[in-house]
């Protein structure tokens, strides 16, 4: 992958398996990578939100980078999240990722601080200037509490700052504005539009998106690659049918109900599913997330069974 | 300061002076500490929001800790912020702060993740269990996007988890609920209620708060200590007059107007004021914040002059 | 239209033309209705947000109902919004609409008050019980500040309370949850899912939505009916091409820029476009909205020209 | 009360008693007015949020105006809320209130629509121009979803548009900005600053506010007038003690817990308290609010008993 070739296809955000004492479980992590590669994915995104990056100390982040890059060995491109509050802290993660040998980096706008579009613009320019690697903007308002506008993204694309965007905003009209703007502006070269909305992948591809970064793709990578291949071949009916099956499967993220945060419930369910499928050794999630109990795990299993995954 | 003695008085969040190439300016930092001590402050809070902690890489955080602790030498207690997204990352900062020899630590609820009161409760319990030092909760919804409720805080106080709270929520009824709850519950020992709302300090103290953590206290520590002493002596008229003077001075935070974020404008103004007063060498703020221009700095100077500080 | 037949197709929210002294311009209103019928629409929705219902006193609402119902004479079903803060006030509008002879009514959740799903449920049940006409829920979080969940909607559908939903939330995953839930639950009879997101109509129909309520359909009803017919005939490429043309046209809503609210700008642009196309006599919008100036109106004209509508 | 004399003191928002079939209970309403006058209040505010104005059809609003104005007979000034979505609808309520003979009117910014400060400014100017009576701005972001800034309010005050503000925002620094701005601007004549934050009345008065509009004042008007009189006489300790007693009493608003909205719970508790105290005949709240059950009403009674009100 270089800046000259836009990233396309299914690039799951790789979960980070943990041991019961909250260390990175590298054995499980390589098995998970094999599971994803076996699923036919087109790339891997480590240290994203579904990787519990917000919960990983720098040492754990380094282990993840080394483990995955060492195991993948260039079979597919590996992107790394450099998630932190502001430019100087993000740059530290960029240095670590570049040194580890990733193929691209993924950064959000600043958060925790009260920011401004001009500052967000400068943030991405500084990061790109120091990374020397394709930079992808990560639009995740539920975590970052600001939205990346189409004008901002397209301006940065035209200046060669951004190689693409992962849009997890759920704002499909905004996604389309970026897709159409990219098509109509002659000053934009290669720019990948990837959706992080795993429940509307068929329609995002239909609008012209290049790929998807689905958290649920950890559990069922084969489903997402089938979806993407069907769409690529113009078999939209098949793509929709696959998406609808995955939509139903996605119900597992609510296993934890109201006794925990939505993040705990979703992460707990993804890991419970991977554990039930025999891919990772422990369903442990990082603190202070609440673990699923037996009933809740049973509910996850029922979703897997209904989707033909058990 | 021990857990047996509640923290009281004026504990400013210490700004972090930077050189023009964005390194920690330790010479300016020690002069700023001297300025604050000369102002009669009762403690120092390093690595808080007004310290640009969100912009400081871990290496810079360590320099700040070492510089300030070395310089203060126990004259007043020094609290340190351990601001990061979740428990495991916060614990790394706790270890660094404990090793550096701080007197207490200040932590927010998890952010970036979607969290839940039960998870926030667990978060503080885990941190307190590992710190072995007084732990203060930092309530800052504008950055953290959740509010710490009185029931949560008082429960943690009763269990000896929290030594106090820094309430920067601006919710004065909520602040009062904590103050009255603390008074009425017999199971709560020492628990400091500090307001971070620098414009309503007289009324917070009137309600029963123990002290204040004012960002503007960098610029005018003498003003805040006069305010606190007046209130302590029961001279509420003098306290109010001082607060009103500081209220007018606070207008400087809007110097940057709408061309930058509110954070850039406020930090830029605090540092411009410290530079104009001759306390720090450079008004540099961390990236991606926008620097104040000449006109904007002039406006800061006018506020200082009007307040009798130039 | 009865409860036995689900509403489908293009049902634009009819703008309310005003005279320069802010009275309902009934002559322009009937011309607008003719324009929409000429465009082949399948129904009309009066007194919706794009009708400036929030700005219309009850007397004006009555004039709109009488004018449109009298003019349409049953050629297509006419739905009426009954937009007000809570159940008792909504019921007054329901009585007026029923008396005027509408074919269905459209109500939001309570707003201005702090509400709760159980109260929203009761709200719709009370309205349906008194209306004796098909009731459509209007999901518009940008105005109402709550979101109608799929479980709530599907439960009300199963109980025969709701005949459908107009989903203007922009939450396409939520829209899909309703569509799939409707399909999978055997206890739900006729239930129309209409999208109010005028920029993603092709994908909403692709997911299984029954129709669209497009504000922009006032300006270009022929475009939206072409889009819907193409999709109905399975010519999704043509539907997408039409949608993309309409997407570009939609840019006119930003004509007013930042000197006014987004509502003023969008309403001003819709009315300027209808005026420029010769359909209504005055581009007047209701107070306190800011009128577009000459330059801004010129920008609207340029969008019309680019879309082949001038 | 004229524009020349600023409104001061305790002006409770008068609850609207209802019969079990949801009609205005005028007998209970006049008894409630007598109860408030007996409590020594300085004015009455009918058709505010605590009057369930959002739930009252226009006919009920008229009955309330006529009943209260007829009964009060000029003993104290009566203000009336004209709560509706936008200027034209508000003007209808203004006409009714003026005709009924009120002494002042109270209006919020537009809601339901997406608005802008310039539009809000025009909104108040239009209302004042047509009312010919003192106009008070009602700042209630929890319902209106925008905040009235100090600059906007003070500009309207200087132009004679506004006679005052009822600030229910809970933003005490913002309240103080208005109070200090009023004092420092020579172009502002009479302008009343009233707090709607019933839990921080002592501190608001301390800052310089002129009075309070306390929902809880329905239940215990004597408490709020004692608080105000103490503050007026400079006995701030007594004012604080009274405020703390009222703070504890306010806990009754949470009687309904999480099974209903916060509005239902608070309104239900106010009315249950008035019913338990023998002032109104029925604790009925308007639809779709959830009524308190027996246990919840018992909890309200316990709060009354603890406050010495039963």
Could you tell me which of D49, D93, D67 has the C-alpha nearest to residue D286?
D49
- pLDDT bracket for residue C275 (50, 70, 90): very high
SS3 D181: helix
Helix (H) or strand (E) holding D119: helix D117-131
Under the banding of pLDDT at 50, 70 and 90, the label for residue B58 is: very high
| Rounded CA separation D257/B170 (Å) | 24
Give strand ranges (E) for chain D: 9-10, 44-46, 78-81, 104-107, 135-139, 164-167, 192-195, 211-212
Residue A203 to residue C199, Cβ atoms within 8 A: no
- d(CA A29, CA B298) in angstroms, rounded, equals 56
Whether A251 contacts chain C with CB within 8 A: no
- Close Cβ partners of D80 (under 8 Å, ≥ 6 residues apart): D45, D46, D47, D65, D93, D97, D100, D102, D104, D105, D106
Report d(CA C182, CA C49) in Å as an integer.
Answer: 26
Please, which residues have CB within 8 angstroms of residue D271's CB and are 6 or more apart in sequence? D15, D17, D280, D282, D283, D284, D285
CB contact under 8 Å between C143 and D113, yes or no, is yes
What are the pLDDT digits (tens) for C19-62? 999 999 999 999 999 999 999 999 999 999 999 999 999 999 99
Q: Which residues of D169-185 are buried (b: 16+ CB within 10 A; e: fewer)?
A: bbbbbbbbbbbbbbeee
Question: How far is the alpha carbon of D72 from chain C, nearest alpha carbon, in Å?
Answer: 27
How far is D126 from A28, CA to CA, in rounded Å? 68
Binary contact (C88, D60; C-beta < 8 A): yes
Tens digits of residue pLDDT in C74-87: 999 999 999 999 99
Mean pLDDT, residues B191-204 = 98
pLDDT digits (tens, 9 = 90+) for B258-292: 999 999 999 999 999 999 999 999 999 999 999 99
What does pLDDT average to over chain A? 97
Fold held by B9-233: TIM Barrel (3.20.20)
A236 vs C197: CB contact, 8 Å cut-off? Answer: no
Nearest to C62 by CA among C12, C24, C109, C13: C24
Q: How far apart are CA D186 and CA B14, in angstroms?
A: 38
Q: Is B213 annotated as a binding residue?
A: yes
Residue C67 contacts residue C77 (beta carbons within 8 Å): no
Contacts of A180 in chain C (CB under 8 A): 244, 247-248
- State the Cα–Cα distance between residues B251 and B265, nearest whole angstrom: 11
CA angle centred on D105, ends D103 and D108, rounded to 5°: 165
Distance CA A90, CA B286 (A): 13
Three-state DSSP at B45 gives strand
pTM over 0.90: yes
Best of A182, A195, A199 to disrupt the C interface by mutation (most C CBs within 10 Å)?
Answer: A199
3-state secondary structure of B163: coil
Q: Which residues, listed in sequence order, are joined to residue B46 by a DSSP beta bridge? A: B80
CA nearest D13: which of D47, D63, D41?
D47
**What is the pLDDT at residue A6?**
85
What is the spatial distance between Cα C8 and Cα C5, in angstroms, rounded to a whole number?
A: 9
Q: What is the per-residue pLDDT across A281-302, written as a single tens digit (0 to 9) for each?
A: 999 999 999 999 999 999 999 9
Tokens coding B117: 């009161």
Is D303 part of the annotated catalytic residue set? no
pLDDT at A129: 97
Question: In terms of Cα–Cα distance, which of A199, A180, A198 is closest to A188?
Answer: A180
As a whole number, mean pLDDT of residues C197-201 equals 97
Helical (H) or strand (E) element with B202: helix B201-207
Shortest CA gap A19–chain B (Å): 14
- Whether A2 shows a pLDDT value over 50: the answer reads no
Q: Is D99 a residue of the active site?
A: no
Q: Which contiguous run of DSSP H or E holds residue D158?
A: helix D150-158
**A212-266 pLDDT, tens per residue?**
999 999 999 999 999 999 999 999 999 999 999 999 999 999 999 999 999 999 9
- Tokens for A233, please give them: 């071949």
Instruction: Give backbone dihedrals phi and psi of B138, rounded to 5 degrees, phi first.
Output: -115, 110
- pLDDT of the residue at D6: 85
| Closest among B87, B101, B96, B99 to B58, alpha carbons compared | B96
- Out of A3-7, A276-280, C225-229, C248-252, pick the least confident: A3-7
Nearest to D179 by CA among D205, D155, D197: D205
Average pLDDT, chain B: 97
Question: Does residue C190 contact residue C3 with C-beta atoms inside 8 Å?
Answer: yes
DSSP B95: H
C244 touches A at CB < 8 Å: yes
Give CA–CA dist D138/A122, Å, rounded: 40
Q: By CB neighbour count within 10 A (0-12 exposed, 13-18 middle, 19+ buried), where does C66 fall?
A: middle
CB contact under 8 A, A56 and B143: no
Element (H, E) at B193: strand B192-195
Q: Which residues of chain A lie closer than 8 angstroms to B61, CB-CB?
A: none
Chain D partners within 8 Å of B175 (Cβ): none
Q: Which residues of D touch B266 (CB under 8 A)?
A: none
pLDDT for res A23:
98
Phi, psi of B9 (to 5 degrees): 95, -150
Using the beta-carbon criterion (under 8 Å), do D261 and C88 form an inter-chain contact? Answer: no
% pLDDT > 90, chain C: 97
CB B242 within 8 A of CB B227: yes
- Sign of the torsion angle spanned by Cα atoms D237, D239, D242, D246: negative
**Residue listed under structure tokens 């369910």:** A269
Cα–Cα nearest to D277, from D238, D240, D223: D223
pLDDT the model gives residue C2: 37
Q: Going residue by residue through chain D (310 aa), what tens digit of pLDDT does each one get?
A: 334 478 999 999 999 999 999 999 999 999 999 999 999 999 999 999 999 999 999 999 999 999 999 999 999 999 999 999 999 999 999 999 999 999 999 999 999 999 999 999 999 999 999 999 999 999 999 999 999 999 999 999 999 999 999 999 999 999 999 999 999 999 999 999 999 999 999 999 999 999 999 999 999 999 999 999 999 999 999 999 999 999 999 999 999 999 999 999 999 999 999 999 999 999 999 999 999 999 999 999 999 999 999 9
Q: Which residue has the tokens 């009514």?
A: C105
- pLDDT at residue C33, as a whole number: 98
> Shortest Cα distance from C240 to chain A (angstroms)?
8
Tokens for C288, please give them: 């306190």
Q: Are the C-beta atoms of C69 and C91 separated by less than 8 Å?
A: no
R_g of chain B computed on alpha carbons: 18
| Helix, strand counts (H, E) of chain D | 12, 8
| Element housing B30 (H / E) | helix B26-38
Ramachandran sector of residue D238 (left: φ over 0; alpha: ψ -120 to 50; beta: rest): alpha
The H or E element that residue B164 is part of is strand B164-167
Which residues is A18 bridged to in the sheet? A24
| Residue B40 contacts residue B221 (beta carbons within 8 Å) | yes
Residue of C nearest to A184 (CA): C248
- Specify the pLDDT at position C6: 85
Contact C202 A206 (CB under 8 A): yes
Alpha-carbon Rg for chain C in angstroms:
18
Structure confidence at residue A3 (pLDDT) = 43
User: Is some CB atom of chain B closer than 8 A to the CB atom of A114?
Assistant: yes
Pick from D24, D15, D11, D34: nearest CA to D61: D24
B114 close to A (CB below 8 A): yes
Of the pLDDT bands very low, low, confident and very high (cuts 50, 70, 90), residue B2 is very low
For residue C75, the distance in angstroms to the closest alpha carbon of chain A comes to: 33
Q: What integer is the mean pLDDT of C124-141?
A: 97
- Residues A191-220 have pLDDT tens digits of 999 999 999 999 999 999 999 999 999 999
Which burial class, exposed, middle or buried, applies to B310 when counting CB atoms under 10 A from its CB (0-12, 13-18, 19+)?
Answer: middle
Nearest chain C residue to D113 by CA distance is C143
Measured between alpha carbons, how far is residue C210 from residues A205, C10, C178, C193 in Å?
21, 9, 12, 5
Can you give the pLDDT at residue D2? 37
**Measured between alpha carbons, how far is D307 from D310 in angstroms, rounded to an integer?**
8
Size of interface A-B (CB pairs under 8 A): 138
Helices A117-131 and A150-158: crossing angle in degrees, nearest 10, is 30
Neighbours of B117 (CB within 10 A): 17
* Percent of chain A scoring above 90 in pLDDT: 97
Instruction: Give tens-digit pLDDT for A61-88.
Output: 999 999 999 999 999 999 999 999 999 9
Interval C232-259: pLDDT, tens: 999 999 999 999 999 999 999 999 999 9
- Contact (Cβ atoms closer than 8 angstroms) between residue C83 and residue D142: no
Q: In which band, very low, low, confident or very high, does the pLDDT at B6 lie, cut at 50, 70 and 90?
A: confident
Residues of D in contact with B180 (CB under 8 A): 244, 247-248
Enumerate the β-bridge partners of residue C198: none
């Amino acid at each position: 992958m270089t800046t000259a070739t836009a990233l396309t296809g299914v690039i799951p955000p790789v979960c980070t398996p943990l041991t019961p004492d909250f260390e990175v479980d590298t054995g499980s992590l390589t098995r998970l990578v094999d599971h994803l590669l076996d699923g036919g994915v087109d790339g891997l995104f480590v240290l994203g939100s579904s990787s519990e990056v917000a919960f990983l100390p720098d040492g754990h982040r380094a282990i993840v980078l080394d483990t995955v890059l060492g195991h993948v060995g260039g079979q597919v491109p590996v992107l790394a999240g450099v998630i932190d509050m502001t430019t100087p802290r993000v740059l530290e993660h960029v240095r670590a990722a570049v040194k580890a040998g990733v193929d691209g980096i993924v950064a959000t706008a600043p958060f925790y601080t009260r920011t401004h579009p001009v500052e967000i613009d400068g943030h991405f320019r500084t990061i790109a200037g120091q990374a020397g690697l394709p930079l992808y903007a990560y639009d995740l308002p539920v975590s970052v509490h600001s939205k990346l506008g189409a004008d901002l993204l397209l301006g940065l694309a035209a200046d060669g700052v951004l190689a693409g965007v992962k849009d997890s905003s759920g704002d499909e009209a905004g996604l389309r504005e970026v897709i159409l703007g990219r098509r109509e502006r002659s000053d934009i070269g290669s720019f990948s539009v990837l959706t992080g909305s795993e429940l509307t992948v068929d329609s995002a591809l239909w609008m012209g998106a290049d790929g998807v970064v689905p958290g649920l793709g950890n559990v069922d990578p084969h489903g997402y690659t089938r979806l993407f291949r069907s769409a690529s071949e113009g078999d939209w009916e098949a793509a929709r049918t696959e998406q609808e099956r995955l939509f139903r499967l996605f119900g597992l993220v609510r296993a934890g109900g109201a006794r925990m945060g939505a993040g705990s419930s979703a992460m707990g369910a993804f890991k419970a599913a991977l554990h039930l499928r025999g891919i990772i050794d422990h369903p442990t999630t990082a603190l202070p997330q609440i673990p699923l109990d037996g009933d809740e795990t049973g509910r996850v299993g029922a979703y897997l069974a209904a989707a033909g995954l058990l």
